[in-house]
Amino acid sequence: MSLFAAAAVLITLTAVLAWLNERTLKLPPVIGVTVGGFLASLAVLALGSAGFSAESWASELLARIPFDDLLMEGLLSFLLFAGALHVNLSDLLKQKWTVLALATIGILLSTFLIGAVIAFVLPLLGIQIPFIYALLFGALISPTDPIAVLSILKKAGAPSGVRALITGESLFNDGVGVVVFAVIAGIATQGASASFGDISLLFVEEAIGGVIFGLGLGFVAYQMLRRVDNYAVEVLITLATVQGGYGLAGALHTSGPIAMVVAGLFIGNRGRLLAMSETTRERLDGFWEMVDEILNALLFLLIGMEVLILDVSGAKVLAGLVAIPIVLGVRLLTVGTSISAMRLRRPFPPNTVSLMTWGGLRGGISVALALSLPASPERDVLLTVTYVVVFFSIVVQGLTVGPLVRRLGRGTE
């Protein structure tokens, strides 16, 4: 199967599932397409068990489009930019210290707490993995997924302060999470060693470098936008900012995701206000909203279909189910600690901790990081456990966060 044919099948299947969801289930699009992809995968597995060749055909389809490369080197740049483009910078700046704490200290604390508990629990289930791989799971599952979070929060109706916190944290913590994951993965898979100085330098290059590069990228795009008044050209400039900027960030060894967030914030706020006509704003918003919806649907279809490549066993699935309350419990602890510390400086909306805990969805980034590991028995364990946690997060937490917002919005914390 050619790459074009594989892409054609995925786009067609995405469109059909999105249509069926809109006509029947009427779930939020990302959840409906994820569930549809999962059910379609189960049907393929059932056909394979019955002697049909559907399973091998579907596996070949997924092999043609590797999920980790597609997300980390392709879709992520567009989705992060599109999400950041519509974030109110003034709301985000009000939460800057809390977002910074959650996206740095929170990620590190979560990584080690989840890793320690998982290292203790898995042997009780008959699964033996080295401690470093338990930490690796902590690193890949700790970042909340901006793609999942942004798409759900659009209709959840959370208070603006809570929404800015969850959105800001999710936009920035994936860059930090990827750095932490890369360091631990190097130790686990290559026997590499990393001193505190090495890790600090890597963080400065990736995270701080990503912020500086994103500001520069956004400024250059802004200067180009304000000198023309042609929406087609201006849309093209934003496309070049995303695709060219993400590729250049990788070549410069800075964080492409963080650079896209910062550039999107710059263009979506200063650029929208000072460099665009009303017509351009309408066309640009319409274009990026369409890109966001289409790529989100494609991404979450792939998440649903990834069950086809899992090495599923009862013990691994049970480990994934056990990991769900562990991940949520650590999330509650890290968010609660950060918010409690920040309350000494400023107030927070009611039920902030509860809403941020349940609204901190995991998504494609976690699955992509697990898939990026070299083949090994430990990878099979981490991939299955990660998939179970992510699927629960998208479907169960995603479906209930809206009702939770409405219910807790009337209470006090």
Residue type, 12: T
Tokens 């409405």 map to which residue?
A: 406
- What pLDDT is attached to residue 312? 75
pLDDT for the residue numbered 411: 44
Answer with the residue of higher pLDDT: 274 or 234: 234
pLDDT at 413: 41
If pLDDT is split at 50, 70 and 90, which confidence band does 97 have? confident
% of the chain surpassing 90 pLDDT: 25
Residue 116 in this model has a pLDDT that exceeds 70: yes
* pLDDT value of residue 386: 93
Phi, psi of 255 (to 5 degrees): -75, 110
Residues 6+ apart with CB under 8 A from 238: 81, 221, 267, 284, 288
pLDDT above 70 for 410: no
Mean pLDDT score, 129-144 = 92
Query: Does residue 305 contact residue 367 with C-beta atoms inside 8 Å?
Result: no
Question: Given a cut of 70, is residue 85 above it in pLDDT?
Answer: yes
**pLDDT over threshold 80, residue 163:** no
Q: What is the pLDDT of residue 53?
A: 64
What is the model's pLDDT at position 122?
Answer: 93
- pLDDT computed for residue 194 by the predictor: 60
| 355 to 91, 159, 340, 348, 349: CA distances (angstroms) | 18, 10, 14, 12, 10
pLDDT tens-place string over residues 334-362: 999 988 888 877 888 778 888 889 888 88
What is the pLDDT averaged over residues 380-405? 89
Q: What is the pLDDT of residues 315-334, one digit of tens each?
A: 899 999 999 999 999 999 99
Query: What is the percent of the chain where pLDDT is above 70?
Result: 88
Half-sphere exposure (Cβ direction) of 153: Cα atoms closer than 13 Å? 29
Dump pLDDT digits (tens) for 119-128. Answer: 999 999 999 9
pLDDT of 109 higher than 90? yes
Output the 3-class SS for the chain: CCHHHHHHHHHHHHHHHHHHHHHHHCCCHHHHHHHHHHHHHHHHHHHHHCCCCHHHHHHHHHHHCCHHHHHHHHHHHHHHHHHHHCCCHHHHHHCHHHHHHHHCHHHHHHHHHHHHHHHHHHHHHCCCCCHHHHHHHHHHHCCCCHHHHHHHHHHHCCCHHHHHHHHHHHHHHHHHHHHHHHHHHHHHHHCCCCCHHHHHHHHHHHHHHHHHHHHHHHHHHHHHHCCCCCHHHHHHHHHHHHHHHHHHHHHCCCCHHHHHHHHHHHHHHHHHHHCCCHHHHHHHHHHHHHHHHHHHHHHHHHHHHHHHHCCCCHHHHHHHHHHHHHHHHHHHHHHHHHHHHHCCCCCCCCCHHHHHHHHCCCCHHHHHHHHCCCCCHHHHHHHHHHHHHHHHHHHHHHHHHHHHHHHHCCCCC
User: Which of 25-34, 160-169, 187-196 is predicted least confidently?
Assistant: 187-196
First to last CA, the chain: 55
Look at residue 166 in the predicted model and tell me its pLDDT: 83
The model's pLDDT over 7-16, given as tens digits with 9 standing for 90+, comes to 788 888 889 9
Quick check: 104 pLDDT over 70?
yes
Q: Mean of the per-residue pLDDT values for the chain?
A: 84
